[in-house]
Each structure stands twice: as structure tokens, then as C-alpha cells.
Amino acid sequence: MTGGGGRGGGGGGNSGRRPDPADLAQLERSPVRWGRVAALFRPFRGQLAVVVALIVASSAVALATPFLIRLVIDEAIPEQDVPLLLWAVGGMLAVTVVTAVFGVVQTWMSTTVGQRVMHGLRTAVFTHLQRQSLGFFTRTKGGEVQSRLMNDIGSMQSVVTSTATSFASSATTVIGTAVAMVVLSWRLSLLSLIVLPPAIWLTRRVARMRRTITAQRQRHLSDLHSQVEEGLSVSGVLLGKTLGAGPVQSQRFAGTSEFLVDLEVRSQLAGRWRMATMSVVFAGIPALIYLAAGLPATSGGMTIGTLVAFTTLQGALFRPLMQLLDIGVSLTASMALFSRVFEYLDLPVDIDDPAHPVPVDPARVRGEVRFEHVGFRYPDGVRPALDDVDVTVPAGSTLALVGETGSGKSTLASLVARLNDPTTGRVLVDGVDVRDMRLADLARVVGVVSQETYLLHGTVRENLLHAKPDATDAELVDAARRAQVHHVIAALPDGYDTVVGARGHRFSGGEKQRLAIARTLLRDPRVLVLDEATSALDNETERAVQAALDEAARGRTTITIAHRLSTVRDADRIVVLDAGRVAEQGAHEELLALGGRYARLAGLAQRDAALAG
């Protein structure tokens, strides 16, 4: 908002506002220090000082117009003083040009500052959230992160380009206009001081009444939309017909619609009353001023030019004054936005780089993994997800984790890549606690292929380079060949430059899984974690993906979470988990010979396969 626009902005439209209860609750839950907000703008204090100076200068220059009008009416025109008339008219044009230029420069500078601050906050929040553990994202609603990152931070620009500049402009205008009015006529200024307070009170009261009715109307409109969605969707109609609830739904809909009729009428009348009130205010105050100017007792020998200049100034006073009265609401809303964003910036990082990391050369890692008396409990868990798991996976060997759903397989595997940290015990790679490694080093040592393959909305090449940005074309092709997906990519219209589409819709489930394997192979990790990578695939596709997995596992330490026992029978060691504890471990034949839990699982798998066949 420019300096000139601040005076003419819609202050009356916002009058009567009260702070949003949600904003007040946010600030009570997470207070914000003014110093912290000021620190964001401290690097731009020079630009902000210029913005304030431009606003003040623009408001001050604009005050010259009423005095020039008085000069034209009282002297230039009656005395037919052409040079004076030209000078006064030129001055009016100069005031318009100067305030317009000041406004453009001020808008450019304030918007630039606002955008730079938003850029810094966006980047800081995005980077900080990337450091959060998976637990944070499972606890947080999907759209909330995006809302705070985009909507809340985007709305913050109003702090600079609207709230702050509007306050500076309105304050300057009100003070300057009041002084100019006193200079022109202290008698009429005194009259304005008497008339303005009740006018402002009446306007705010009517606006508040309309806002209450409008809020009720919006709530009932929302209810009506919900009833339409619930009652006229396929599922809703089916439910209504099978339960015979159609007449009840119709009555409910009619009741809500009937109540909306009354609210709509009241809302329109309140709006009309508000407009009528504003019209009375804008017409009534000048009328009283004309009356006072025409009475001998109050005119004080006022000239016509002074009267016109005074009414011009007085007309420009109402809106900025209303804006100043509403500044508290705007500040509360702005501080609530900062509070919401600072909440994310202040989130503790559960899994972070160690203060004194152990130097690790990923190229020299052998890949021995040891779970040393590992225990883990989720924050909201009633029982441990893992309890005293003690397992060693020699370098280059394969370990399969099997067990019923909820036995702790995925939780145990997640500890290797530090997607979670153990509550008790340690996870070691080549004798080094993974919590003592830099996260970047650990990501090069441990690769993960999960059941839920995520592909970026970009080309095949971009998806693969996401794992290794400096990879050569030869490395891309080699990784794709080993993942047995090169022939699929080569058959695409643009080969590796083909866009995969949203979530990789162009590819089948097996093809996406093999692309994920190729992406992981580009990093050449010494330890590979396969988290039920074939569980969602049909038998034929599973065989193709399993062949790619077998190739990927060659020469690496591999930890496989098995959905189908047929995929892990050749593992060097199989660990059977039950309620977070190691129930059995050994090779496939050894465990079958034991006749325990693994043998029962194998028997169930054979029976299911026979039934499916």
C-alpha cells in the first residue's frame, strides 16, 4: 500500500473488527517477542527507513493540495491572476506526480523487503522441517505443513506492505490533516472533534452487527454444502435408499435452507444499513461544517476557499482514522502468523548430526551391522515396539526379518538408516554407532528401498539424479541395467528425458519399484535395507523386481523385511520377530527343523499359495 493509497484505503470496510479468537489463542499458546520479529527486518533497516520517509513525505506533500485550492478560489480566480492560477494548478499537478512517484518507489521497496524476509523464512522453515524425524510427519496433518510454509509465510508480507505501511501512512495523514485543519480554522476543527467520535462509534457498531450475521450465514452455508455432498453423493444416496432416510434428509436440508433465508435477508439489510450509515456520516459532517461556516457566530469571517480546503481535509481524515482504530486487530493477526511459523522453527530436531561426528569414509565401509540390545518405544506406544534385540549381520551377508504384522520388522530396519533412534541399546555399522555419524555419510552408507515408491514429477533422469546429482549418463544406464529397468526406459518416447508424471503414473508398480532400486544403486551403499519392496506386486511382477533386488544385493550387506517367505528362504540368516522380541533366528532349513514360529508361518504361506493356485 502506497503512502497516498493508505489515506484512501478501505478503512471503513474493516471498522468494527475484533481480534480473531483463533489468533488470540495462537498467541497465548505460543507468544512472540517483538524483538524476534524485529530481528527478521534488521538487515533491511535502511530500506525500511527510506519507506517510512517516503510515506511521511507523500502524506506531507499531499496536504499542500487543500491550501492550493484555497489559493485558487480566494485569490487567483477572483483577482483574475493568471500567473498565480497557473502556479497553483501546476502545484496541484506536481503534488499528484510526486505522491504517485513516492508511492511507486515505496511499494517497490516495501514489497522487496517483504519478499526477502519471506524468502528467508520459507528457506529456514523448509530446511528445519527436512531435519525432523518421520514421527513428526506421521503426527502432523498432511496439509498443515504446506499451509504454514506457503499460506502463513505468504500472508506475512502484509506486515510490511499493508499493516506497517498503512499504520505509518494513516498516522502521518491523521496528524498532518489535524494540524492543517487547525491552521485553516480552529472553530471548525473543534466542531469536527465533537462530531467525529459518535460517527465513528455508529459506523463500527453497524459493521460489527453485519459481521456477526455474515459469520452465522457462512456457517449455515457450510452446513448446507455438507448436506448436499453427503446426501447427493453416490454413497450418500445409496445409504439413504437402503436406510429409508431420504425424507429425513430432505427435511433437514429444508430446515437449514429456511434458516438461510432469514439470515440472507438480515445480512442484506445490515449491509444496506452500513452503507446508509457511511453515507450519512460522509454527507452529514460536511453539512454541519457548511452550517457552522454560514452562521455569523461560528464563521469567524471564513472565506469560501478556506471552507472548501477544510472540507477536503476533513473528508480525508475519516478513513485513516478508522484504520488506526483497527491497527490492533491487524497487528494481532500478523503476530499470530509469526507465532505459527516460529512454532515450526522452534521444533526440536530429534535426529540430527552429532556434535562431534566420527569420520567415516563411505568407500571403506565393509557393512557389518549390529543391533546391540536394541529397544524402541513410540511416543504414544503402550508397549515397546522393540525389546532387547541383539543381532549381528556380517558384512556382505543377507538378513531377513519375518513376523506377523506389528511384530517390529519395519521399526528395526528403520533404525539402520536413522529414520528413528533406539530408545535403548545401539545400532552399529562397522563398530560405529550410527548416531555418531553425519547423516550425509550415513545416507551414503545405507540405502533404503521401501514398499511405497515415490517418484518426483520430473523426468526419469531427474528422478535418478536425485540420488546422485553428479552422476554421468554411463552411471545412470549402468544403475538402470542392474535394476533391470533400462529396457523399459529406452522404450519410452524420450528415453531418460521422459516425464514420469505425478507419482510416476506412467509406470506400473513393478517398473516404479525397479526405478527406485536404480536410484538407490546410484549411491552404491554398502548396506541395503529392503522394506517389503515386493509386497504390493503380483507374482509375475514380483519375480522381475526380485531379480533386480538380487542383483542390487550382490556384494552388499542386505536387510530384507519379508512379506512372502518365498523371497527370503536363501537369506544367510532369518530373524523371526514376535511383539518386538527375537523369537527365533537361523537359516531357512534350521528354522523349519525347529518346528517353531517360523515353521508355522511357512506352513500358512504354503496353504495360502495352494488356495490361491
Q: Element (H or E) spanning 223, and its range? A: helix 186-232
Q: What is the pLDDT of residue 274?
A: 60
Contact of 578 with 403, CB cutoff 8 Å: yes
Q: Is 358 part of any domain?
A: no
Q: Residue 52: which CATH number?
A: 1.20.1560.10
Q: What is the pLDDT of residue 6?
A: 37
Q: Which pairs from 51-55 meet CB under 8 Å and 24+ separation?
A: 51/106, 51/109, 51/110, 51/113, 51/165, 51/168, 52/168, 54/3, 54/102, 54/105, 54/106, 54/109, 55/3, 55/6, 55/102, 55/106, 55/165, 55/168, 55/169, 55/172
Per residue, the 3-state secondary structure of 573-598, as one string, reads EEEEEECCEEEEEECHHHHHHHCCHH
Residue 458 pLDDT > 60: yes
- The tens digit of pLDDT for each residue in 222-244 reads 677 777 766 776 667 776 777 77
- Domain enclosing residue 384, as ranges: 367-612
Q: What is the pLDDT of residue 314?
A: 75
Q: What is the pLDDT of residue 105?
A: 92
pLDDT tier for residue 15 given thresholds of 50, 70 and 90: very low
Q: Are residues 406 and 519 in the same domain?
A: yes
Q: Is 608 part of any domain?
A: yes
Going 254 to 260 to 265 to 266, the CA torsion angle's sign is positive
Q: Is 357 part of any domain?
A: no
- Grid cell for residue 277: 450509515
Burial of 25 from C-beta contacts in 10 A (0-12 / 13-18 / 19+): exposed
Q: Residue 544: which CATH number?
A: 3.40.50.300
Q: Are residues 145 and 90 in the same domain?
A: yes
Q: How many CA atoms lie within 13 A of 209 on its CB side?
A: 17
Side-by-side strand order, sheet with 573-578: 446-450, 527-531, 557-561, 398-402, 573-578, 581-586
Residue 595 pLDDT > 80: yes
Q: Is 252 part of any domain?
A: yes
- The tens digit of pLDDT for each residue in 292-311 reads 777 775 566 677 888 888 88
- The tens digit of pLDDT for each residue in 165-211 reads 777 888 888 888 888 888 877 777 777 767 667 766 766 666 666 66
* Mean pLDDT computed over 587-601: 84
Contact of 73 with 306, CB cutoff 8 Å: no
Q: Is 361 part of any domain?
A: no
- The tens digit of pLDDT for each residue in 485-514 reads 888 888 888 888 888 876 666 777 778 888
Q: What is the pLDDT of residue 9?
A: 36
Considering its fold, how many domains does the chain have in total? 3
Rounded mean pLDDT of the chain?
79
Q: Are residues 495 and 556 in the same domain?
A: yes
Q: Are residues 129 and 168 in the same domain?
A: yes
Residue 2 pLDDT > 50: no
Q: Are residues 337 and 294 in the same domain?
A: no
Q: CA 151 to CA 406: how far, in whole Å?
A: 38
pLDDT tier for residue 3 given thresholds of 50, 70 and 90: very low
Q: What is the pLDDT of residue 14?
A: 45
Task: Please give the single-letter amino acid code of residue 72.
Answer: V
Q: What is the pLDDT of residue 430?
A: 92
Q: CA 567 to CA 221: how far, in whole Å?
A: 55
Q: Are residues 440 and 483 in the same domain?
A: yes
* Mean pLDDT computed over 431-444: 91
Q: CA 430 to CA 433: how far, in whole Å?
A: 9
160-169, 211-220, 309-318, 457-466 — which one is most confidently predicted on average? 457-466
- The tens digit of pLDDT for each residue in 60-106 reads 888 888 888 888 888 888 888 888 989 999 999 999 999 999 989 98
Q: Is 226 part of any domain?
A: yes
Q: Are residues 146 and 11 in the same domain?
A: yes
Contact of 234 with 45, CB cutoff 8 Å: no
Report the predicted TM-score, pTM, of the whole model to 2 decimal places: 0.66
Q: Are residues 276 and 177 in the same domain?
A: no
Q: CA 108 to CA 104: how far, in whole Å?
A: 6
Q: Is 307 part of any domain?
A: no
* Mean pLDDT computed over 562-577: 80
Q: What is the pLDDT of residue 234?
A: 65
Q: Are residues 345 and 278 in the same domain?
A: no
Q: Are residues 573 and 456 in the same domain?
A: yes
Which tops the pLDDT comparison, 318 or 42?
42
- The tens digit of pLDDT for each residue in 513-546 reads 888 888 888 888 889 888 865 555 556 666 666 7
Residue 448 pLDDT > 90: no
Residue 597 pLDDT > 80: yes
Q: What is the pLDDT of residue 550?
A: 72
Percent of the chain, pLDDT > 90? 11
282-286, 408-412, 539-543 — which one is most confidently predicted on average? 408-412
Q: Is 359 part of any domain?
A: no
Q: Are residues 8 and 118 in the same domain?
A: yes
Which tops the pLDDT comparison, 522 or 7?
522
Q: CA 412 to CA 375: how far, in whole Å?
A: 9
Q: Element (H or E) spanning 286, and its range? A: helix 246-294
The answer to which of 167-176, 209-218, 391-400, 552-561 has the lowest mean pLDDT is 209-218
pLDDT tier for residue 158 given thresholds of 50, 70 and 90: low
Q: Are residues 219 and 282 in the same domain?
A: yes
Q: What is the pLDDT of residue 602?
A: 76
